Structure 1
Amino acid sequence: MPKTPLQTPLHQLYDEDFVRWVEATVACLKTRDVDQLDWEGLIEEIEDLGKSARRELESRLSVLLVHLLKRCYVNSPNDYRGWQLTIVEQRNALKRLLKQSPSLKGYFQNVLDEVYQDASAEASTAYPTSEFPNAYPYNRDLQALLTEEPWR
């Protein structure tokens, strides 16, 4: 079957209408039309997929650590239940993310201390009269972080 040229080149669509670019790129991939592919845009988007997964891990880890810190170091029993629900929610989301992308487990270890520092700063700002540890206070094992209740 002869290939028909696109009305608008893919590299131009990338900047003008991203959804159309995605649809046209998928059509090219399905028909194996490599001549019309916007290789630079495709490479950039695939790279961004990995970055997006790493950003999600960092974001969920940060929320988890902030709530662990609040639960363990802020004396506010009326808030414990809400903090614990957020801890469960973030742990479940992290488990799903790590199941989909097991290679993120290594990335977790690489960013743990940096994310902890940000989480600690956030908790300190929210609760300036509470004292939070300067260094990461929990078990560094990923499975432990996803299951243990250090406030018990």
Structure 2
Amino acid sequence: MGKSEKRELVSRLTILLLHLLKWQFQAPKRSKSWQNSVEVQRISLDSHLRDNPSLKSVLDSAISEAYRVARLEAENETGIDKNIFPVTCPWSFEKMMAEDFWP
């Protein structure tokens, strides 16, 4: 597993988690753009993990890293204090990747 593959994994997870947080905590501002971003990241993550199956061994740490960044970005983008968002990622990988999951 290369560093660039892990960076891409964390980057895609960050975007996915950011938009899921915004979806949950800013329901009145939900947009087609957020929805499309979630759907695109799910597809891209699935493809990236199929191409790099060894990344599954670092998935938990990648989610933790991505969530810390997503939480800060959600605070910046929404104006909601970061302490309102859960301290750790509230969703399992399987849950956040489920097509019918919209918190």
TM-score category, normalised to shorter length = 0.7 to 0.9
Task: Find the aligned partners of 2:80 and 2:94 in 1 and give their Cα distance.
Answer: 31
Gaps of 5+ in 2: none
* Aligned partner letter, 1:102: P
Q: Deviations over 1:28-68 (max 9, x none)?
A: xxxxxxxxxxxxxxxxxxxxx71111111010000000000
Q: Deviations over 1:78-134 (max 9, x none)?
A: x33221110000010000000111111121112211210110010011112363222
Partner residue in 2 for 1:124: 75
Partner residue in 2 for 1:135: 88
Say if 2:42 and 2:97, in contact at 8 Å, map to a contact too.
yes
Partner residue in 2 for 1:7: none
Please identify runs of 4+ aligned residues in structure 1 that moved more than 4 A: none
Structure whose CA Rg is larger: 1
Task: Find the aligned partners of 1:133 and 1:108 in 2 and give their Cα distance.
Answer: 19
Say if 2:10 and 2:65, in contact at 8 Å, map to a contact too.
no
* Larger RCO, structures 1/2 (Cα 8 Å, 6+ apart): 2
Task: Find the aligned partners of 2:45 and 2:77 in 1 and give their Cα distance.
Answer: 24
Choose 108-117 or 81-90, whichever is displaced more: 108-117
Gaps of 5+ in 1: 1-48
TM-score of the two chains, using structure 2 as the length reference: 0.85
Identity of matched residues, %: 33
Across the aligned residues of Structure 1 and Structure 2, the Cα RMSD in angstroms comes to: 1.7
Partner residue in 2 for 1:56: 8
The yes-or-no answer on 1:104 pairing with 2:55 is yes
Partner residue in 2 for 1:65: 17
Task: Find the aligned partners of 1:129 and 1:108 in 2 and give their Cα distance.
Answer: 27
Say if 2:23 and 2:102, in contact at 8 Å, map to a contact too.
no
Q: Could you say which structure has the higher helix fraction?
A: 2
TM-score of the two chains, using structure 1 as the length reference: 0.60
Change (3 A) 1:75 1:143: closer
